[in-house]
């Protein structure tokens, strides 16, 4: 078990004082068998007039924050601390009837999975579907787990990661054509590819721990991270991070799940003013792993810092 602590700071600056509309925050992790929230806090400048918590349609925790004071700067800082037990599924424990592709979902589960199987983005020539089919063996049984792991690793090895500060996600066919993108672009490409094969998938927004030592090549640190989950009979929702070729929840902190990336935006809101009033935005995410320090008494812990400024 590991203790992770996450500090997430977003700063908006303006050329004159503006009034702020409601802001919607998704930063509180989803409690599960592999991660348990210990503490969380939210601090804003100016102070909020009200903070209202709700669960969205997927059961994610959402904070709706309102402000009543104008300002030239809006700072939103969140802190979370959680226990994390990485799930590393060397054996996915898939039910026998789904060990090989193609397979069908249980009739009782199918009504709940249907919308997560339907492809969501235009692809008239089925380029994404053709790309996905290259991982299916012809004339031989295709191991379901191997198919998805190979697809995940293929994105990691064959596509170039490029951090993009702009909002939104590329169309999967654009990511396929450019062979480059952000973590959310790669997650969406793998989702649509798996959906083209009839598998239920959902988008995951959260954080990733990037070790600061040993020349780590993990990508996606310094800002929020994104990956996907695929539902496999017997194994349940399995994490696939195509940006890093990770299968399972190692170093991944799950905050929100959704059918579409647009439903899991970490922070969104508005201001009342002119377009030219907006100056810029900066995002800083730091993920700390607390490790037991055997040289100190009473189970004291040392900390390893990862993260930095998003670019």
Q: What is the pLDDT of residues 150-208, one digit of tens each?
A: 999 999 999 999 987 666 899 999 999 999 999 999 999 999 999 999 999 999 999 99
Residue of 194, 274, 269, 268 lying closest to 238 (CA atoms): 194
Query: Across residues 141-152, what is the average pLDDT?
Result: 96
Residue of 72, 70, 26 lying closest to 49 (CA atoms): 70
Sign of CA dihedral 90, 94, 96, 101: negative
To which residue do tokens 């249980």 refer?
106
Angle between helices 183-196 and 144-158 (to 10 degrees): 150
pLDDT (0 to 100) of residue 165: 66
pLDDT (0 to 100) of residue 213: 44
Q: What is the pLDDT of residues 105-133, one digit of tens each?
A: 999 999 999 999 999 999 999 999 999 99
> Using CA atoms, how far apart are residues 178 and 163, in angstroms rounded to an integer?
14
Most confidently predicted of 87-96, 149-158, 293-302: 149-158
Q: What is the pLDDT of residues 255-294, one digit of tens each?
A: 999 999 999 999 999 999 999 999 999 999 999 998 755 5
pLDDT (0 to 100) of residue 211: 81
Please give the radius of gyration of the chain, using alpha carbons only, rounded to the nearest integer.
21
> Using CA atoms, how far apart are residues 17 and 14, in angstroms rounded to an integer?
7
Contact (CB, 8 A) for 83 and 35? yes
* Whether the predicted pLDDT of 307 surpasses 50: no
- Residue 306 phi/psi, 5-degree rounding, is -135, 155
For the chain, list the domains and their CATH numbers: 2-84+265-309 (2.60.40.2250), 96-262 (3.10.620.30)
pLDDT (0 to 100) of residue 160: 97
Q: What is the pTM of this model?
A: 0.90
* Whether the predicted pLDDT of 301 surpasses 90: no
pLDDT (0 to 100) of residue 92: 82
* Whether the predicted pLDDT of 142 surpasses 80: yes
Sign of CA dihedral 238, 163, 71, 79: positive
Q: What is the pLDDT of residues 97-107, one digit of tens each?
A: 999 999 999 99
pLDDT (0 to 100) of residue 290: 86
Read off the pLDDT band of 308 (50, 70, 90).
very low
* Whether the predicted pLDDT of 43 surpasses 90: yes
What's the token pair of residue 47?
A: 């102070």
- Asked if the peptide bond before residue 102 counts as cis, ω within 30 degrees of 0, the response is yes
Contact (CB, 8 A) for 229 and 240? yes
pLDDT (0 to 100) of residue 309: 29
pLDDT (0 to 100) of residue 302: 42
Q: What is the largest CA-CA distance in the chain?
A: 67
Q: Tell how strand 180-181 and strand 160-161 pair up.
A: parallel
Query: Across residues 83-96, what is the average pLDDT?
Result: 85
pLDDT (0 to 100) of residue 292: 58
pLDDT (0 to 100) of residue 1: 85
> Using CA atoms, how far apart are residues 71 and 81, in angstroms rounded to an integer?
30
What is the secondary structure of 236-292 as a DSSP string?
EEEEEETTTTEESSTTEEEEEEESSGGG--SEE--EES-GGGEEEEEEEEEEEEEEE
Lowest mean pLDDT among 32-41, 76-85, 163-172, 202-211: 163-172
> Using CA atoms, how far apart are residues 74 and 17, in angstroms rounded to an integer?
10
Sign of CA dihedral 219, 222, 228, 229: positive
> Using CA atoms, how far apart are residues 114 and 166, in angstroms rounded to an integer?
31
- Residue 202 phi/psi, 5-degree rounding, is -145, 155
Q: What is the pLDDT of residues 202-240, one digit of tens each?
A: 999 999 998 864 444 565 557 899 999 999 999 999 999
Burial (CB count within 10 angstroms: exposed 0-12, middle 13-18, buried 19+), residue 169:
buried
């Amino acid at each position: 078990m590991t203790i992770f602590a996450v500090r997430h700071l977003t700063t908006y600056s303006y050329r004159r004082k503006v009034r702020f509309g409601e802001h919607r925050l998704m930063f509180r992790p989803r409690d599960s068998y592999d991660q348990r929230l210990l503490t969380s806090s939210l601090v804003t400048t100016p102070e909020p007039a009200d903070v209202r918590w709700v669960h969205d349609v997927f059961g994610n925790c959402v904070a709706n924050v309102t402000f009543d004071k104008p300002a030239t700067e809006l700072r939103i800082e969140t802190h979370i601390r959680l226990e994390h037990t990485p799930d590393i599924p060397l054996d996915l424990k898939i039910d026998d009837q789904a060990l090989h592709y193609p397979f069908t979902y249980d009739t009782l589960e199918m009504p709940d999975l249907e919308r997560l199987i339907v492809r969501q983005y235009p692809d008239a020539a089925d380029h994404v579907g053709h790309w996905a089919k290259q991982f299916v063996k012809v004339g031989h049984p295709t191991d379901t787990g191997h198919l998805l792991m190979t697809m995940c690793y293929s994105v990691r090895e064959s596509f170039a990661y490029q951090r993009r500060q702009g909002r939104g996600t590329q169309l999967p066919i654009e990511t396929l054509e450019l062979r480059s993108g952000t973590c959310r672009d790669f997650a969406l490409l793998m989702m649509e590819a798996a959906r083209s094969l009839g598998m239920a998938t959902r988008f995951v927004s959260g954080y990733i721990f990037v070790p600061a030592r040993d020349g780590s090549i993990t990508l996606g640190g310094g800002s929020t991270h994104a990956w996907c989950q695929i539902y496999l009979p017997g194994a349940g929702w399995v994490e696939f991070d195509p940006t890093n070729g990770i299968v399972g929840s190692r170093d991944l902190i799950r905050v929100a799940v959704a059918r579409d990336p647009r439903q899991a935006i970490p922070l969104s809101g508005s201001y009342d003013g002119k377009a030219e009033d907006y100056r810029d935005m900066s995002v800083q995410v730091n993920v700390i792993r607390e490790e037991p320090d055997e040289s100190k008494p009473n189970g004291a812990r040392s900390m390893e810092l990862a993260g930095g400024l998003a670019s």
